[in-house]
Amino acid sequence: AQTVTQSQPEMSVQEAETVTLSCTYDTSESDYYLFWYKQPPSRQMILVIRQEAYKQQNATENRFSVNFQKAAKSFSLKISDSQLGDAAMYFCARETSGSRLTFGEGTQLTVNP
Amino acid sequence: KAGVTQTPRYLIKTRGQQVTLSCSPISGHRSVSWYQQTPGQGLQFLFEYFSETQRNKGNFPGRFSGRQFSNSRSEMNVSTLELGDSALYLCASSLSVARVGGYTFGSGTRLTVV
């Protein structure tokens, strides 16, 4: 099965510090997209960042950046200058052909003031 | 612009009943996908519709079905409800080529089967 694995069920970080969430995945495809989504208590899944597999350059969105290691099938999310509003469940996801997402188990991030 | 709208937000149904959930995508988005989220199984893909046709389907029993209308709004139906169907059901909309614009999710419908 082509899976996505998040090995950290919970993480915590101090406000203003940096935290990295890990994700590994399995795929037999050469062209695919990877995503990080955030799900706060409001339940809505919010897109944090997206990475195209054929691009070597790591994606960056303001305080959020990824470390994409294609050969290792690793896709970690770095949150810099953490804010209280970053507290949420974070899901790593891979898009397969056919417009479907396969999600990891999620990492619950706590931000301590 | 308006986001993805899912109705109702909460539902309580009795085992054996059927239920219909609705999803209105972002204007211009023609693809609608449905996901089931449970504590035990996580997020699982149910199906995807594009231009009123089911384009992709996950590994769920036939009790789970869906459809899409000409205005891209989508409904999913679960018949003969079981206790295990209790979950958060999320829908996501995207452009015709999802990877271009990504997926936008609604806030979900929380279904409780008693």
* Strand residues in B1-114 grouped as ranges (E): 5-7, 10-13, 19-24, 31-38, 42-50, 53-57, 64-68, 74-78, 87-94, 104-105, 109-113
Read off the pLDDT band of A18 (50, 70, 90).
Answer: very high
Read off the pLDDT band of A29 (50, 70, 90).
Answer: confident
Q: Are A75 and A23 in contact (CB under 8 A)?
A: yes
Least confident of A36-40, A56-60, B78-82, B99-103: B99-103
Residues of B in contact with A59 (CB under 8 A): none
pLDDT tens digits for B57-113?
A: 999 999 999 999 999 999 999 999 999 999 999 999 988 665 666 789 999 999 999
Rounded Cα distance, B88 and B109, in Å? 6
Q: Which two tokens stand for residue A6?
A: 């998040």
Residue among B31, B102, B108 whose CB faces A47 most closely: B102
Q: What are phi and psi of B98, to 5 degrees?
A: -60, -35
CB pair distance less than 8 Å for A35 and B58? no
User: Which letter does DSSP use for residue A58 in this model?
Assistant: P
Q: Write down the pLDDT at residue B23.
A: 98
CB pair distance less than 8 Å for B42 and A52? no
